A and B are shown apart, each in its own frame.
Chain A
Amino acid sequence: MYYKFSGFTQKLTGSAPATAYNPQGLRSGLPAESPTMIFATPTKVVSEAGATAEYMGANKVPDLQKVFQTSDGIPVHLKRGYPDRLLYRTTMALTIGGVAYCLVALYIAAQPNRK
């Protein structure tokens, strides 16, 4: 644990090694120790935060971040599962079908008028 003097609270508070108060400089030879994280207030879960924070619905971003950050090797456009696959396959079917239809239409348009 490293400490520094906080000008705000006028007390010693925890700090990162780089910003700690070290009148003698950092002592070499001591193993580097990561500081314990100190939270000012306990982290609030959205449901505890009260009605004002839920104006027009609750915050689903943390849940979605969990879903989209799972390392399963699935590319981002299919990460949400079935609805993504359905939309992707519809788009791909239209792409392939559209190219075929387009080539046929252009081929017909290129034929001389036989009237």
Chain B
Amino acid sequence: MAHQAHAYHMVDPSPWPLTGAVAALLMTSGLAIWMHFHNTTLMTLGLILLLLTMYQWWRDIIREGTFQGHHTPPVQKGLRYGMILFITSEVFFFLGFFWAFYHSSLAPTPELGGCWPPTGITPLDPFEVPLLNTAVLLASGVTVTWAHHSIMEGHRKEAIQSLALTILLGFYFTFLQAMEYYEAPFTIADGVYGSTFFVATGFHGLHVIIGSTFLAVCLLRQVQYHFTSEHHFGFEAAAWYWHFVDVVWLFLYISIYWWGS
């Protein structure tokens, strides 16, 4: 490698932006083809291409950061800003669903019976499974902090165990939410209550699954000695994301499950 007099990362030419863009083309076109011709081939092709792109692109970022040493302090600063901006955009994404919920619930229309929850809707009891879910997510916030401190102090075994515990709590939350969905006495088609409830909690559930996957990748990397006590931004980004998902749940719980019932 030629000598470089600065600490910035000069990336190698990469095919992944192209393959990712084509995956997006195939998935959107595939969706239209599916709706018109009842054929999911193109959409499945796009999904496979997207998964291949995601795997290889992130694999290369691990190679650049952990094996090639390109993630110098100024590069890490850029990664931090990037993650902060990404999570900020996610905050506004959820803000839209909260807006829809409060718009519909603060001044219920006559069609809903002028009340909230709307006439005919039996909401879920917030002090049963949703309260347990709150406790599960708060506990996972504790275990992820435990994992972070274990990594910072070089306690490998403790870090692996606490991170595994965090992921298990994430899966338990997803399992409980799936049971709640199955047992719910209303559906997404039951007016604005069902729509706002399932879209907001459903996207939150999707984010829990993404966060669990992110933490699971961190667990695999921790087992393979990728994180040092000084340099473990991949883990920190996953922890930030996990806390974000946790905070969104607290707002969902207070607004939709508790106040909204």
Contacts and interface: CB of A to CB of B under 8 A. Distances in A.
B63 A79 contact: yes
Given A55-B156, A76-B63, A98-B49, A68 B68 contact: yes
A71 B12 CA distance: 13
Looking at chain B's contact residues, the main secondary structure is helix
B182 interface: no
Contacts of B18: 95
Contacts of A57: 223-224
A76 B68 contact: yes
B32 interface: yes
Contacts of A87: 52, 56
Interface stretch (A2-10, A34-42, A101-109): A101-109
Given A68-B68, A69-B67, A77-B56, A98 B45 contact: yes
A60 B223 CA distance: 11
Contact of B225 (A61, A71, A88, A102): A61
Interface residues on B, range: 35 or more
Interface string B43-77: 00110110011001000100110111100000000
A64 B65 CA distance: 12
Given A56-B160, A61-B66, A76-B60, A91 B1 contact: no
A51 to B, nearest CB: 12
Contacts of B13: 75
A35 to B, nearest CB: 23
Contacts of B67: 61, 64-65, 67-69
A91 B25 contact: no
A65 B145 CA distance: 29
Contacts of B226: 61
Contacts of B42: 98, 101-102, 105
Interface string A49-83: 00001011101110011011101000111010000
A75 B16 CA distance: 12
Interface residues on A, range: 20 to 34
A94 interface: yes
B22 A98 contact: yes
Interface string B10-46: 0011111011001001100110110011000110011
A109 B56 CA distance: 33
A88 B59 CA distance: 12
B149 interface: no
B68 A69 contact: yes
B224 A98 contact: no
B26 to A, nearest CB: 5
B68 A88 contact: no
Given A65-B66, A68-B68, A91-B52, 18 more contacts: A53-B156, A56-B160, A57-B224, A61-B225, A61-B226, A64-B67, A65-B67, A65-B69, A79-B63, A88-B56, A94-B45, A94-B48, A101-B45, A102-B29, A105-B29, A105-B42, A106-B29, A109-B33
15 contacts: A55-B157, A57-B223, A57-B224, A61-B225, A65-B68, A65-B69, A68-B68, A69-B68, A69-B69, A90-B52, A94-B49, A98-B45, A101-B42, A109-B32, A109-B37
Interface of B: 1, 12-16, 18-19, 22, 25-26, 29-30, 32-33, 36-37, 41-42, 45-46, 48-49, 52-53, 56, 60, 63-64, 66-69, 156-157, 160, 223-226
